[in-house]
Amino acid sequence: FELYIKTDNYPEDFSWELVNTNNTVLANRNNYEDANKYYYYRECVPVTNNECAMLRLIDKYNNGGTFYIVSWDGNVIEEGKQGYNNPEITMGNCNDSEDGLLNGEE
């Protein structure tokens, strides 16, 4: 899992978390302090071949502005600028997931 971000003018509003199919947090970060700064994270996360993970990009006030690039297994799977929503990006083998969380059920 790799995440490259550039914070906006209000970095303290931004956070992210990576969860597995059981909604267990695998990695997360909050409390950004520096506006318009680049950050890079690379982390080996414990998911099996038949699991997937979900990255949640969270802006406390939903006003967006943070730029991001997300990679899984060395491949860029999504990039963009966070808008007026909190994107949830799925990664891994989600087709076989029996867990409702990553199949749109809560």
Q: How many CB atoms lie within 10 A of CB 62?
A: 12
Q: What is the pLDDT of residue 5?
A: 96
The pair of three-digit structure tokens given for residue 99, joined into one six-digit string: 């867990």
Please give the distance of CA 81 from its chain centroid, rounded to a whole number. Answer: 13
- Mean pLDDT, residues 9-24: 93
Based on C-alpha coordinates, what's the Rg of the chain? 14
Structure confidence at residue 87 as a pLDDT band (50, 70, 90): confident
Listed ranges 3-7, 89-93, 95-99; the one with the highest mean pLDDT: 3-7
Tens of pLDDT, residue by residue over 51-72, are 889 999 999 988 888 999 999 9
Across the chain, mean pLDDT equals 86
List phi, psi (to 5°) of 71: -125, 150
Are 35 and 11 in contact by the 8 Å Cβ rule? The answer is: yes
- Mean pLDDT, residues 76-80: 93
The pair of three-digit structure tokens given for residue 100, joined into one six-digit string: 């409702």
- Categorise residue 37: left if φ over 0, alpha if ψ from -120 to 50, beta otherwise: beta
State the pTM of this model.
0.82
Please give the distance of CA 45 from its chain centroid, rounded to a whole number. Answer: 13
